[in-house]
Amino acid sequence: MHVLRLLLLPFSWLYALVLRFRHGLYDSGLLKAAVAPVPAICVGNIALGGTGKTPHVELVLRTLLPGTTLATLSRGYGRKASGFSEVQAHDDPGTTGDEPLMLKQKFSGVRVFVGADRVAGVAAIKAAMPEVQAIVLDDALQHRALKAGLNMVLTTWQRPWHKDYLLPAGNLRDIPCRARQADAVIVTKCPLLPTPEEQYRWRRRLGLRDAQALFFSGLEYAPPKYITGGQDAVPVGPQTAALLFTGIADAAPLVEHARSVFGTVRHLAFGDHHRFSKAELLGVADVFHSFAHGPKTLITTEKDATRLGGSLRTSPLQGLPVAVIGIQAKILNEPHAFEALIRTHVATHPAHR
């Protein structure tokens, strides 16, 4: 064990006691949890980030669309504003958060809301759209004040919770046994579909109940697409180069994919939800001009592109070929069971009877 982690373990144990006490208050009924009045699907995790939560929120939306009147609710991490509000496609990411704005721009028929108080937020959504048939809750597992009807917990293939530690020694923000309360667990970012024997071992390692569904998901990448500075198809192949610049929690899968598409790849990594300054973008442009010869492209993520917005055309990246590589989550084992789990929850909810 790393020496620093060993030194931080006592603080993790103290944090665990606090979490267990809080969960105990809810489990005993001393603290009350409100039941969502409409079908609510929570996509959450017990780690800080990097589990692929947003692609799985999108997966739930795609599963229910078309034909279902949907809304999403998230905190809107990184936004300057506070309180409850609805996100519009033309909003500034600084007031909405990058992920909610990206969802709105990708799913125009879904109403997207942000608000830290999930109980008040769900009530406000129901009041604003009485016709809503389901609400997808982005990262609400720790919000015990609201009881969602269907809870899905994510953990990654590369760093599952049984190989991690609670903060500050590790990356977990909640005790792993909380995942036993979920209806389904999804192991994300899988490089391949594990064998039935390996799936069974995963179930044992994660300590799941027999009744819990266990899914494995991978990421599918779209071809790179210009968002500025290019008109034809993005050049790919062994003679091309790509400079990635990202502000996401875990860019490793994207970097690996880029290396399978471009001959030369360099990655400039920034923190999750990073808001790029003019000086930083100038530095990206300087690196781009000098890092490789031949056809080359600046590559970023859809989330980063949302955060940059229209400023790309007036920033130091103006005129440079900037492209995004879109991603989608895909269930590798029993996709029909995953779809049935979600659709059945919505169709059989008491609000729809």
| CATH number of the domain enclosing 234 | 3.40.50
Give the separation between CA 294 and CA 182, rounded to whole angstroms.
50
DSSP string, 102-133: HHHHH-TTSEEEE-S-HHHHHHHHHHH-TT--
- 212 shares its domain with 232: no
Q: Which residue has the tokens 């970097």?
A: 255
- 17 shares its domain with 75: yes
> pLDDT for 56-82, tens place per residue?
999 999 999 988 999 999 988 878 777
**Is 329:59 a contact under the CB 8 Å cutoff?**
yes
- 18 shares its domain with 86: yes
Edge-to-edge strand list for the sheet holding 262-269: 225-228, 322-324, 296-300, 237-246, 262-269
Domain extent at residue 90: 3-219+331-352
- 312 shares its domain with 338: no
- 45 shares its domain with 143: yes
- 144 shares its domain with 270: no
- Alpha carbon 118 to its chain's center: 18
> pLDDT for 159-215, tens place per residue?
999 999 999 999 999 999 999 889 999 999 999 999 999 999 999 999 999 999 999
Give the separation between CA 261 and CA 250, rounded to whole angstroms.
19
Lowest mean pLDDT among 25-34, 78-87, 100-109, 183-192: 78-87
In this prediction, residue 141 carries a pLDDT of 86
In this prediction, residue 314 carries a pLDDT of 80
For the chain, where are the alpha helices, taking DSSP H only?
3-28, 53-64, 93-96, 98-106, 118-128, 196-206, 252-261, 278-290, 302-308, 335-348
The CATH number of the domain holding residue 95 is 3.40.50.300
Nearby residues of 187 by Cβ (< 8 Å), 6 or more positions away: 154, 155, 156, 157, 160, 202, 214, 215, 216, 217
- 319 shares its domain with 341: no
Q: Is the Cα dihedral 227, 230, 232, 236 positive or negative?
A: negative
- 65 shares its domain with 18: yes
- 104 shares its domain with 181: yes
| Average pLDDT along the chain | 92
pLDDT at 1 over 60: no
**Is 185:209 a contact under the CB 8 Å cutoff?**
no
Q: What pTM value is reported for the model?
A: 0.92
- 260 shares its domain with 133: no
Q: Using alpha carbons only, give the angle 56, 101, 236 rounded to the nearest 5 degrees.
A: 70
- 63 shares its domain with 210: yes
DSSP string, 242-275: EEEEE-SS--HHHHHHHHHHEEEEEEEE--TT--
Q: How many domains does the chain have?
A: 2
* Spatial CA neighbour of 323 closest among 210, 247, 232: 232
- 198 shares its domain with 231: no
